[in-house]
């Protein structure tokens, strides 16, 4: 929504550059992670996910990296475009095996793409 970006860390990049958005997660037992994109006035949109038995996963123009040692997740966006401007947040699933599939969401980073 329009107010989601308030008080959020902001990453400002030039169009065409690569973007790296970081997320520190809280639970070392988390086994599944998701990155979402939220544009103003819209609901969160799934971008990419990764399981804890992987270190890296690639999608179209996006790559997610998982470092379980330091509980860190990153989203890399190649050749950032103006349409990538949005709030990005990560989610972790601390419930091993997904019996409840509850997710814990980060507060997000605002990506601002400068033309």
Partner 1 sequence: DADVTQTPRNRITKTGKRIMLECSQTKGHDRMYWYRQDPGLGLRLIYYSFDVKDINKGEISDGYSVSRQAQAKFSLSLESAIPNQTALYFCATSAIGGVGETQYFGPGTRLLVL
Helix (H, G, I), strand (E, B), or coil: what is residue 113? strand
The CB-of-81 to partner 1 minimum distance in angstroms stands at 21
Q: Which of residues 26-45 bind partner 1 (CB under 8 A)?
A: 32, 34, 36, 42-45
Given 54, 105, 112, 114, the residue binding partner 1 (CB under 8 A): 105
Distances (CA, A) of 94 to 17, 26, 32: 33, 9, 8
Residues 93, 100: Cα–Cα separation, whole Å: 9
Cβ–Cβ under 8 Å, residues 107 and 90: no
Tell me: does residue 83 bind partner 1 (CB under 8 A): no
**Residues near partner 1 (CB under 8 A):** 1, 3-4, 6-8, 32, 34, 36, 42-46, 49, 89, 91, 93, 98, 100-108
């Amino acid at each position: 929504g329009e107010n989601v970006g308030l008080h959020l860390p902001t990453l400002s990049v030039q169009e065409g550059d690569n973007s790296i958005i970081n997320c520190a997660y809280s639970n070392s037992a988390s086994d599944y992670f998701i990155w979402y994109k939220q544009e103003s006035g819209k609901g969160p949109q799934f971008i990419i996910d990764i399981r804890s038995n992987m270190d890296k996963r690639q999608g179209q123009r996006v790559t997610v990296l998982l470092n379980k040692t330091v509980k860190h997740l990153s989203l890399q966006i190649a050749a950032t475009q103006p349409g990538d401007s949005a709030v990005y947040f990560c989610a972790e699933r601390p419930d091993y095996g997904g019996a409840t599939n509850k997710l814990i969401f980060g507060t997000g980073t605002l990506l601002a793409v400068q033309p």
